[in-house]
A and B are shown apart, each in its own frame.
Chain A
Amino acid sequence: MPTQAAGQGHRSAYVSSAFADRLFLWLTAGAGWIVFAVLVGTAISMAYGGREAFQTFGWNFIVSSDWDAVNHKFGALIPIYGTLLSSAIALLIAVPISFGIATFLAEVAPPWLRGPIGMAIELLAGIPSIIYGMWGLFIFAPFMAATVEPWLTENLGPWPIIGPLFVGPPLGIGMLTAAIILGIMTIPFISSVMRDVFQAVPPSLRESAFAMGATPWEVVRKVTLPHTRSAVVGAIFLGLGRALGETMAVTFVLGNAHDFSASLLMPGNSIAATIANEFTEADSPIYLSSLIALGFLLFVVTFIVLAIAKIMLSRVERRMG
């Protein structure tokens, strides 16, 4: 009798824990679907708001570089170009720096220094984005105009292929300044995750590498990085997301110029900055609709960029086994 009761007790415990497991699965899956619903809702809302623009301009909206609010002619080409360019340069700055910081914290810094420096870098994320914008406008842009940009124009301007990228009047604001600030804002997102991830490598793995005579740099390259590859990529995506969608800081220093320019020293535009600069003063329905359509296009651009990135990554993964 007692054994049968004990057996029954075990079975009911098993059943209830299976139910709890099921419940947990539903709970977490439900949360996942909430994320899905939020994105789809936002995208639909933007598509709906932009329908007048899409109906009026059609496909031309994507390839047109017009932006005339007075005559109601709008095109998304320059903002799209600016978004991609500024984010690319920002990542070009942020990824190596973040990798360097994570390496420093993992291999160079003494243990007592790790915490404070890690927190200091994280603090870069805590500075309000509008402060980046204001600091950029009032402090950094004049610095760029007075010091960096003339130097660039003089020294890199004459070079054959990359020269045209660096010529222009020293205005201070412009694509380069905005991309640098964007890069700085992105650093803490990538570096904090990289740092956590580097420090989560099992000590046994690292120690056995050291035992075989590897230098710290080799340990990072051959042990830490491969082990954390997927998380590092995730951190970069986190940073990419930050760069693509950053509004306030870029708004202040990008210049909101609806013109093409090869030079990085000239003002440009990005989708988020255009919306932020012009939404509250848009004075016609087609104007408003065009701005919201721009927002929808950013989703599309992000979709394409991320899809390409993931396809490339899965190819690399497959090759590396």
Chain B
Amino acid sequence: MNRSLMRQRRIVNFIALCGATAATLFGLVWLVWILWTTLEKGATSLNLQLFTDMTPPPGTEGGLLNAFFGSAAMIGLAVLIGTPIGILAGTYLAEFGLRSKIGGVIRFVNDILLSAPSIIIGLFIYELVVRQVGHFSGYAGALALAVILLPVVVRTTDESLRLVPNELREAGLSLGLPKWKIISNVVYRAGATGVATGVLLAIARISGETAPLLFTALNNQFWSTDMNAPMANIPVVIFQYAMSPYDHWHALAWAGAFIVTVFVLLLSIVTRVLLKTRK
């Protein structure tokens, strides 16, 4: 009886783990399929010119340099604005707001913000910033991206910090550390991987958002470093080029998509390596 029960458990285990493997393969198949498509369709534009020339008019060769710069600048600014607020808010929820009513409300509100379509956020920032100032700008674009980034970081920070075992906090208390030092020195360090995952996921998401930028940063055909004016960015360029009738624009769009994905991958690798070496 014992042996057959053991065998049954082993069979269940085997099936479950096979299922897990199949699920992973399922996820990887899509990744490979989509990446292969972007690579194949963008191949003719994957050259050095992509990084040296500006977005071209139809019929002319060109690159995506102004779009890369604009996207990098706006994503960088968005991260600068949104990440500290997100981590701090997540910290509040995990450390101070665990059982409180206010904590519950903010958590709930954050989840709603998480589900907001990016186009709505774009419209909100449009009304708030672009209409008031009177023109499109890279600042408005960065702000819209920050608002999209914020709830992701809040949620993942909240969850990661809550998973840090209480023993660590108690150890800090027993050493006489004030609460803020416990959080910043002990809890943050323990939850760093999870928080980093959240930030990376959020960056991955905002790197590909088109709709919000359309109403805030617009786009720019030319090279510009002026954040207070329409700013070129990859997602809008991809959108406009892919929906055009011209083949070389299509190739640029797919090439741009491929580079964005590679950028997110590199960022992820670098961050994980840095976290590992620090530990």
Q: What are the residues of chain B within 8 A of A289 when measuring CB–CB?
A: none
Q: Is B117 an interface residue (CB 8 A)?
A: yes
Q: What are the residues of chain A within 8 A of B88 when measuring CB–CB?
A: 27-28, 30-32
Q: Is A121 an interface residue (CB 8 A)?
A: yes
Known: A246-B117, A306-B112. A129 touches B265 (CB 8 A): no
Q: Is A148 an interface residue (CB 8 A)?
A: no
Asked if residues B20 and A100 are in contact (CB atoms below 8 Å), the reply is yes
Q: What are the residues of chain B within 8 A of A245 when measuring CB–CB?
A: 114-118, 120
Q: What are the residues of chain A within 8 A of B133 when measuring CB–CB?
A: none
Partner of B112, one of A121, A217, A299: A299
Q: What are the residues of chain B within 8 A of A298 when measuring CB–CB?
A: 115-117, 120
Asked if residues A126 and B264 are in contact (CB atoms below 8 Å), the reply is yes
A residues 13-41 touching B (CB-CB < 8 Å): 17-18, 20-21, 23-25, 27-36, 38-41
Known: A188-B201, A217-B13. A119 touches B268 (CB 8 A): yes
Q: Which of B16, B20, B115, B178 has the most CB of A within 10 A?
A: B115
Asked if residues A100 and B24 are in contact (CB atoms below 8 Å), the reply is yes
Contact with A along B74-116 (1 / 0, CB 8 A): 0000000000111111011101110000110110111111111
Contact with A along B123-166 (1 / 0, CB 8 A): 11001100000000000000000010011101110111011010
Asked if residues A97 and B178 are in contact (CB atoms below 8 Å), the reply is no
With the chains together, A321 CA to B88 CA distance in Å?
Answer: 30
Asked if residues B124 and A191 are in contact (CB atoms below 8 Å), the reply is no
A residues 271-299 touching B (CB-CB < 8 Å): 271-272, 275-276, 279-280, 292, 295, 298-299
With the chains together, A272 CA to B263 CA distance in Å?
Answer: 27
Known: A100-B24, A192-B201, A216-B13. A234 touches B159 (CB 8 A): yes
A96, closest chain B residue (CB): B23
Asked if residues B111 and A241 are in contact (CB atoms below 8 Å), the reply is yes
Asked if residues A193 and B159 are in contact (CB atoms below 8 Å), the reply is yes
Q: What are the residues of chain B within 8 A of A69 when measuring CB–CB?
A: none
With the chains together, A104 CA to B17 CA distance in Å?
Answer: 7
With the chains together, A97 CA to B23 CA distance in Å?
Answer: 5
- The tally of CB-CB contacts under 8 A between chains A and B is 317
Contact with A along B237-261 (1 / 0, CB 8 A): 0110010000000000100010011
With the chains together, A242 CA to B117 CA distance in Å?
Answer: 8
Chain B, interface SS category: helix
Known: A184-B30, A191-B27. A299 touches B124 (CB 8 A): no
B180 → chain A closest CB, angstroms = 4
Contact with A along B21-34 (1 / 0, CB 8 A): 11110111011011
Stretch at the interface among A130-138, A161-169, A256-264: A130-138
Asked if residues A32 and B13 are in contact (CB atoms below 8 Å), the reply is no
Asked if residues B115 and A275 are in contact (CB atoms below 8 Å), the reply is no
Tally of contact residues, A, Cβ under 8 A: 101
Q: Is B56 an interface residue (CB 8 A)?
A: no
Asked if residues B268 and A123 are in contact (CB atoms below 8 Å), the reply is yes
Q: Is A303 an interface residue (CB 8 A)?
A: yes
Partner of B204, one of A103, A126, A247, A302: A126
Q: What are the residues of chain A within 8 A of B112 when measuring CB–CB?
A: 39, 299, 302-303, 306
Stretch at the interface among B44-52, B60-68, B208-216, B220-228: B208-216
Q: What are the residues of chain B within 8 A of A271 when measuring CB–CB?
A: 117
A61 → chain B closest CB, angstroms = 17
Asked if residues B111 and A101 are in contact (CB atoms below 8 Å), the reply is no
A88 → chain B closest CB, angstroms = 14
Asked if residues A119 and B92 are in contact (CB atoms below 8 Å), the reply is no
Asked if residues B95 and A234 are in contact (CB atoms below 8 Å), the reply is no
Q: What are the residues of chain B within 8 A of A129 when measuring CB–CB?
A: 205, 208-210
With the chains together, A193 CA to B191 CA distance in Å?
Answer: 12
Q: What are the residues of chain A within 8 A of B72 when measuring CB–CB?
A: none
With the chains together, A100 CA to B95 CA distance in Å?
Answer: 31
Partner of A100, one of B22, B102, B109, B272: B22
Known: A46-B124, A135-B37, A196-B194. A123 touches B24 (CB 8 A): no
Q: Is B58 an interface residue (CB 8 A)?
A: no
| Other A-B pairs beyond A32-B93, A217-B16, 6, CB < 8 Å | A39-B116, A125-B204, A127-B260, A130-B235, A134-B253, A238-B152
The 7 A-B pairs with the shortest beta carbon distances in the complex, nearest first, are A100-B23, A128-B208, A126-B264, A241-B114, A28-B92, A31-B88, A17-B178
**Would you mind naming 21 contact pairs between A and B with Cβ atoms under 8 Å apart?**
A28-B96, A31-B85, A35-B151, A100-B19, A100-B23, A101-B24, A121-B27, A124-B30, A125-B201, A125-B204, A126-B265, A127-B260, A134-B257, A135-B37, A139-B33, A193-B159, A240-B115, A242-B114, A246-B117, A295-B117, A306-B112
